[in-house]
Chain A
Amino acid sequence: MKKHIAHLALAAGLAASVALYAIAPQLDDYAVNILVLAGINIILAVSLNLVNGHTGQFSLGHAGFMAAGAYTSSIITLSLAPVLASAPAWQAQAAFFAALLAGGVFASFCGFLVGVPSLRLRGDYLAIVTLGFGEIIRVVIQNTDALGGARGLEGIPPYTNLLWTFGIATVAIYVVASLVNSTYGRGFISVRDDEIAAEAMGINTTKYKVVAFVIGAFFAGLAGGLYAHFISYIAPEGFNFLKSVDVVVMVILGGMGSTPGVAAAAVLLTLMNELLRDFEQYRMIVFALLLIVLMIVRPQGLLGNFQRRKRKASQP
């Protein structure tokens, strides 16, 4: 039953992506800009939610995976650019898709590297290690001339459109949601709820943590690739710690472990960013206060009531 709903949602999401793509010419550039950013944020938030929400690990390095994907895919399309410029559009789009996938795969490899040391770490330690990994990725890019170093990469072909963005966002939501709702995926939640008990029940917690990191990083890498091929210019500074925090805020406000809530929060925060442009300086202060108050009065998140789940008080 649930499976049918998931497939239906997948089909509906893809149809909506096509519809959005179809009406895109009717929209002005700014509206398209906001929609693409919203789509990218959905991918980032939903994928981070798999790690932070469903599996109960705490990653602060999502921007690093995004950077890994953005740079990998951009290097590929940039090196193919002379060939693709004269090739038919469908070939360029196919090459773009392949580049995106390569970026995702490389990002998931980075996710694997982070996942491994995380096996022996818990909550707060892991947060700092992932933050460190994110920073290391940034520092390496910054000091690598082949990647443009601090100067960044410019002239990336603008292949990203609404179809790619929302198509991938739909797939990300589908994959994460059906993974978590599957028998296999219950393991993620068991790792979050009580790691020791899960281990005692014969669940390979190690494997679940690594899988969560790898899948989360894969989609972050895709999001990075989409971003790079939308803005056409990337520099390491754009993938710093504060970018990771932006995604974390979406996940927490949306409600950790609630895929619809997190996706909604991603869209809402993207829009708020635009609507509150004149109050930019207050925006982060409001978010920070919201985080603190939320944790005290409503730890399941602002929109977390889509999937209310009983949470037990954690060990002292």
Chain B
Amino acid sequence: MLCGLLFSGCKKKDSAGNPDEIVIGEFASLTGATASFGQSAHKGVRMAVDEANANGGVLGKKLRLVTEDDQSKAGEAATVVRRMISREKPVAIIGEVASSRSLEAAPICQQNKIPMISPASTNPKVTQTGDYIFRVCFIDPFQGAVLAKFMLQRGWKNAAILTDVKQDYAVGLTDFFKDYFTKNGGTIVSEQSYSSGDKDFKAQLTSIRSTNPEAILVAGYYNEAGLIASQARELDIKVPLLGGDGWDSPSLVEVAGDAMEGNFFSNHFSAEDKSPAVQDFLAKYKAKYLESPDAMSALAYDATMLLFDAMKRSGTTDSAALRDAIASTSGFPAVTGNITLDANRNASKSAVILQIQNGKFRFVETVAP
């Protein structure tokens, strides 16, 4: 009986569904450990779709968003993306924030020739999967270099590194940071690591303290970064901590409180940016969700808008034509900076450095590629 249930709905269908609508797929971690990223991204995508529909849709058709939750779990992304592609026939797919889950879905999208745009997976390998895989964020090598550049500019030549070895993103960030930093006159005085989910970093920090660094790179996500900051202050470590876009979450300050003050991190955009694109996005987002957007929602919004732009330019949703249109995106005015996709389907764009001041993320400077 169950087999019947399985097969009845699963026969290959050739019908393209409702001809008056265009289906956009999205997969995100709406539940589980990184639910906050997934939910932010989903809000960005939702807003872009609603906005386009309010303006009469794209190519004269209404857009329908199909969202699947991958539960922040390994293996689930592949399953839900296959399900979406088989059942809903989306013309393109937006997702995911986490590189590991984008890497699961990318081969499937590539095989089915469905363009996939990742809003925030910074691991270089994601787009190397094939010519249907794109991203709208900068990649780890660039972010690592940005942080190294910023430290050297401030005259911090002795850096310690604390890396989350459980996260591909953090390990990548550290590698590229080290590379740029040491080649340009910096010295790594101490290299320590931890695993996501750890709560106790005092051992690592005590070792770091004994090497007297001028700044510490904390490559990892906000959960642990907050704990690391407060434990560092408890151990009387007063030098600034720096991190990447994984720090971007209100929980960062919530967990660490005062200990986070004065630290820096690189990010995709700043809500303090006075450019009209950012301010316009902020106003619309606040009106819709009654809260401030973070970088994930901005990037997801950009990814979706970039997709619509490509559809309009190609005039069709045919996969090859759409792929070519996305690939030829140049100078697309996005919230997170103008996006030009390079030959490797990565976005070449600038990063911003933010500093935590009075519990807020203050804009410090923009670093160009």
Report which A residues bind B (CB closer than 8 A).
Answer: 26-35, 37, 142-143, 149-152, 154-155, 158, 227, 230-238, 267-268, 271, 274, 277, 280-281
Contact = CB atoms under 8 A, between A and B. Distances in A.
6 contacts: A27-B11, A28-B87, A29-B82, A152-B103, A155-B129, A232-B107
A142 B166 contact: yes
B74 interface: yes
A281 B11 contact: no
Contacts, number: 105
B12 A28 contact: yes
A27 B100 contact: no
B168 A151 contact: yes
Q: List the 3 shortest-distance A-B pairs measured between CB atoms, nearest first.
A: A238-B74, A151-B168, A31-B10
Interface string B95-125: 0000010011001100110000000000101
B83 interface: yes
Nearest to A143: B165
A234 to B, nearest CB: 8
Given A150-B168, A151-B125, 19 more contacts: A27-B12, A29-B108, A31-B7, A31-B86, A142-B166, A150-B171, A151-B100, A151-B171, A152-B100, A158-B107, A231-B75, A231-B78, A232-B107, A233-B103, A236-B166, A238-B74, A271-B5, A271-B6, A277-B80
B329 interface: no
A231 B100 CA distance: 12
Contacts of A158: 107, 111
A244 to B, nearest CB: 14
A235 B168 CA distance: 9
Q: Which of B5, B78, B111 has the most CB of A within 10 A?
A: B78
B328 interface: no
A143 to B, nearest CB: 6
A225 B33 CA distance: 26
A231 B83 CA distance: 14
B314 interface: no
A268 B2 contact: yes
B272 to A, nearest CB: 33
Given A232-B107, A237-B166, A30 B125 contact: no
Interface in B6-54: 6-7, 10-13, 31
A232 B7 contact: no
Given A29-B112, A155-B129, A281-B31, A233 B11 contact: no
Nearest to B126: A154
Contacts of B165: 142-143, 149-150
Contacts of A149: 165, 168, 171
Contacts of A150: 164-168, 170-171
B86 A233 contact: no
A34 B76 CA distance: 11
Contacts of A155: 107, 125, 128-129
A237 B99 CA distance: 13
B168 to A, nearest CB: 3
Nearest to A31: B10
A233 B100 contact: yes
A271 to B, nearest CB: 6
B31 A33 contact: no
A280 B82 contact: no
B69 A29 contact: no
Contact of A235 (B11, B74, B86, B112): B74
A268 B168 CA distance: 34
A315 B114 CA distance: 61
Given A33-B79, A142-B165, A235-B74, A27 B87 contact: no
A152 to B, nearest CB: 6
Given A142-B195, A232-B104, A154 B125 contact: yes
Interface string B153-175: 00000000000111110111000
B11 A28 contact: yes
B75 A238 contact: yes
Contacts of A230: 78
Contact of A231 (B86, B104, B167): B104
Contacts of A281: 31
B24 to A, nearest CB: 18
B325 to A, nearest CB: 25
B11 A26 contact: yes
Given A26-B12, A142-B165, A280-B31, A33 B82 contact: yes
Nearest to A28: B86
Nearest to B72: A237
A227 B104 CA distance: 12
Contacts of A280: 31, 69, 71
A235 B7 CA distance: 31
Contact of B129 (A26, A154, A237): A154
A238 to B, nearest CB: 3
B85 interface: yes
Contacts of A33: 78-79, 82-83
Nearest to B125: A154
Contacts of A238: 74-75
Contacts of A34: 6, 79
B2 to A, nearest CB: 6
Contact of A271 (B2, B86, B168): B2
B168 A30 contact: no
A221 to B, nearest CB: 17
A34 B2 CA distance: 12
